[in-house]
């Protein structure tokens, strides 16, 4: 497994170059990440809602990191989860998946 640290403020695509084939690969949808965050926090977090602002803490972040690794086979840094929204975390997960696919 390749570990990728992507800060939510790095922009939608960061520095990862995505091949044409990767562009058509199955991506994690923001609704899936929102559902995971909502499940862990026990509250409805909008796509642009702050993880910490909706009650998230380091314990919840570690739970989310573990679920992301289990469900999608990639690891994101728990500090990135703390600083995230569902939208930015979805981007981070998809970048990590793209990096894993590239080797």
Domain boundaries, the chain: 29-102
Select the more confidently predicted residue: 83 or 4.
Answer: 83
DSSP-assigned letter for residue 3: B
DSSP 72-92: HS-B--HHHHHT--HHHHHHH
Residue 79 in this model has a pLDDT that exceeds 90: yes
| The CATH classification of domain 29-102, taken from the options 3.10.180.10, 1.10.10.10, 1.10.1200.10, 1.10.287.3240 | 1.10.1200.10
Tens digit of each residue's pLDDT (9 = 90 or more) over 7-29: 554 544 444 444 444 444 578 99
Of 3-7, 69-73, 96-100, where does mean pLDDT reach its minimum?
3-7
pLDDT, mean of residues 77-86: 94
Contacts of residues 69-73 at CB distance under 8 Å and 24 or more positions apart, as own/partner, are: 69/1, 71/36, 72/28, 72/97, 73/1, 73/97, 73/100
Select the more confidently predicted residue: 50 or 8.
Answer: 50
pLDDT at residue 38 in the model: 97
């Amino acid at each position: 497994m390749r570990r990728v640290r992507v800060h939510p403020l790095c922009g939608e695509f960061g520095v990862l170059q995505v091949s044409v084939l990767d562009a058509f690969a199955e991506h994690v949808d923001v609704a899936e990440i929102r559902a995971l965050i909502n499940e862990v926090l026990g509250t409805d977090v909008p796509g642009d809602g702050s993880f910490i602002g909706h009650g998230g803490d380091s314990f919840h972040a570690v739970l989310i990191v573990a679920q992301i690794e289990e469900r999608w086979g990639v690891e994101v840094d728990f500090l990135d989860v703390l600083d995230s929204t569902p939208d930015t975390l979805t981007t981070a997960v998809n970048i990590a998946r793209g990096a894993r696919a590239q080797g």
